[in-house]
Amino acid sequence: LSAASRGGVPSRLGRLSRWPVRGLLIFLRSVPEIVWALLFVRAVGLGPAAGVLAIAITYSGMLGKVYAEIFESTDQRPAHALLQAGSGRLAAFAYGTLPNVGSELLSYTVYRWECAIRASVVMGFVGAGGLGQQIDLSIRMFAGGEVASILLTFLLLVLGADQLSRLLRWRLT
């Protein structure tokens, strides 16, 4: 919760950790996933682990920034009321803040998952495994049917992510 929820005085840990955490998030999202993929291919070798790590690193920076902005922009009055009534900080967050932002967090998370599905194609072209690597191999072998099948699979994955997002938003409202 914000400093105001503790009487307006930010905790020492909060003051000390805010800028290093923000700096880390900036660094994680400023390096494109393709660069991370090339670094991880060098570190862990060819294969899907490099692609997964590259996407996870980049997207954790993106999600961290957006989550922080969502939490900072939400109405804190319900959480403040719970704290003043004697609730603990975790309970105030869980019952005062999270219900107000849950659908937005979920929607953005599923959207980023969909973006990660698309980014995984690019990762495959640099040797980071997955369906992208299979597309590259199929293209080199002039296997148009395989390429079409893989692209159809990606289309279905993106459609599935869209439907999942719609279902989860419906359940939360």
Q: What value does the CA radius of gyration of the chain take, rounded to a whole number of Å?
A: 21
pLDDT at 19 over 80: yes
Of 67, 97, 68, which Cα lies nearest the Cα of 80? Answer: 97
Of 107, 17, 36, which Cα lies nearest the Cα of 66? Answer: 107
Q: Are 37 and 15 in contact (CB under 8 A)?
A: no
Burial 14-24 (b: 16+ CB within 10 A, else e): eeeeeeeeeee
pLDDT in tens, 129-148: 777 888 888 999 999 999 99
| Residue 5, pLDDT score | 42
Of 106, 125, 113, 114, which Cα lies nearest the Cα of 168? Answer: 106
Prediction pTM value: 0.76
pLDDT in tens, 38-54: 899 899 988 888 888 99
Q: Are 114 and 168 in contact (CB under 8 A)?
A: no
pLDDT in tens, 58-72: 999 999 999 999 998
Question: Class assignment of domain 3-172?
Answer: mainly alpha
Task: Count CB atoms within 10 A of the CB of residue 132.
Answer: 24
| Residue 8, pLDDT score | 44
| Residue 116, pLDDT score | 87
Question: Cα(173)–Cα(162) distance, rounded to whole angstroms?
Answer: 17
pLDDT in tens, 160-169: 888 888 888 7
Q: Are 116 and 55 in contact (CB under 8 A)?
A: yes
Question: Domain locations in the chain?
Answer: 3-172
Question: Cα(83)–Cα(76) distance, rounded to whole angstroms?
Answer: 11
| Residue 11, pLDDT score | 65
**Helix H or strand E segment including 170:** helix 144-172
